Amino acid sequence: MSEKNWQNDSEYVALVSDLLVRDEVLRLAEFTQHYYSNRLEHSLHVSYRSYLIGKKLDLNTRALARAGLLHDLFYYDWRNTKFDMGTHAYVHPRIALRNAEKLTDLTPMEKDIIVKHMFGATKALPRYKESWVVTLVDDYCALEEVGDPLYHRVADKIKLRFGVSI
């Protein structure tokens, strides 16, 4: 199944359907994320690809689908917003976590996935395999969305680390 066809995957949709009717999630479509996509499309890409990898590896697909969808749940344009508390890379996972907690109950794994998804730019090590999957898939999707051929390299990393092709 192609990663673009999440709508036809009823098993996946069942895991996120309660979130996909919420304005707080749908509003993400108003924000440009990377140059060619909005934040909702990006979040769905990350969520569904992470879910597919999790299925192959027998990981927690519910946590991957849900936290993948909520990992960038923030409502500002990161290109023209500055923070006193730190960089966008540091701040936005924490804002996303706070917004996600208002929306739904989160398991410790789901919280870890959201707050560690910028690993590399932030220092705290992901605690679960699922968190590693989402941080790598997020990199991959971001590069792919801007048409950067570097995404092949991230795909290689995912293959090396998890033995699955993306």
Query: What residues make contact with Fe ion under the rule CB under 5 A?
Result: 72, 138
Q: Report whether 46 contacts 134 (CB < 8 A).
A: yes
For Fe ion, give the closer residue by CB, 72 or 110.
Answer: 72
Q: Report whether 129 contacts 56 (CB < 8 A).
A: no
* Closest distance to Fe ion from the beta carbon of 51 (Å): 15
For Fe ion, give the closer residue by CB, 61 or 117.
Answer: 117
For Fe ion, give the closer residue by CB, 15 or 114.
Answer: 114
For Fe ion, give the closer residue by CB, 58 or 145.
Answer: 145
* Closest distance to Fe ion from the beta carbon of 118 (Å): 6
What is residue 32's three-state secondary structure? strand
| Helix ranges restricted to H, 4-150 | 10-20, 23-26, 39-57, 61-70, 88-103, 108-115, 129-145
For Fe ion, give the closer residue by CB, 130 or 138.
Answer: 138
* Closest distance to Fe ion from the beta carbon of 74 (Å): 8
